[in-house]
Amino acid sequence: MRILIVDDETLARDRLRRMIETDGQHEVVADVASGQEAIKQCEKLRPDVCLLDIRMPGMDGIETAQHFLTPEEPPAVIFCTAYEEHAIQAFELQAVGYLLKPVRRVDLFRAFSNSIRLNRMQMAAVKNIDANRRTHVCARTYKGVELVNISDIRYLKADQKYVSVRHVKGAVIIDETLRELKDEFPDLFSRVHLNALVSTNHIIGLEKDVQGQIGVRMHDVDELVDLSRRHLPAIRKVIRRL
């Protein structure tokens, strides 16, 4: 099996690599120190298994695993952690490998033999281990994997089955729906149109365009975001609270 190791501690990565390479039956294709780099390497290398630490600075292991869920087959994920309380919950799921640090060789190879690929139902169960929601959305562009911080998003527009994400550095397309995003971040985004959400904290105010149509003016964005009459009263209330 082709294995990707993800841990912010160099010693932990080196220890896992040594255990795996002494076996001669598995290959470590890469080891990285962050969730962001893990997503990029997973897209590039297509490993069979990812050994994934949970508590890492920035993007933690739970969120990193969420970003592995693409229409293609994701890797099997084996979580590694020093925190027993998470392990107990994970073992009850009986769907994802979960090892306590320091990882024992016998447990590691048993997890390899029993590893299964995550599906969306299993990942939904794993999300219950940690109440933290995503801090980034993930887009796949001609450059590869691009991560956009939620705080950098200014608005989202639906276009057929995709959503365009306008952020402070440009725009990307993601394979998610506005409804899913609104449900996940109800306090961060406000609906202004059937096909558009805006970042509530970055609304400047309402403004008319050259045709007299009212739109939403956002921080760091030149263009107005279309506002439907249906959502005008609700947006006015939001602006009054800002």
Mark residue 79 as left, alpha or beta (left: phi above 0; alpha: psi -120 to 50; beta: remaining).
beta
pLDDT, the chain, mean: 85
Cα maximum dimension of the chain: 71
pLDDT score recorded for residue 38: 95
| Tens-place pLDDT, residues 67-123 | 886 646 788 888 888 876 555 444 443 335 778 889 999 989 988 887 765 555 555
Rounded to an integer, the average pLDDT of 159-170 is 91
Which CATH code of 3.40.50.2300, 3.30.470.10, 3.40.190.290, 3.30.200.20 fits the domain covering 2-127? 3.40.50.2300
Query: Quick check: 152 and 167 in contact, CB under 8 A?
Result: yes
Domains of the chain: which residue ranges?
A: 2-127, 148-241
For residue 145, name the pLDDT band (cuts at 50, 70, 90): confident
Residue written as tokens 């263009």? Answer: 223
**Predicted TM-score of the model (pTM):** 0.65
Class of the CATH-defined domain 148-241: mainly beta
Backbone φ and ψ for 228, nearest 5 degrees, come out as -80, 155
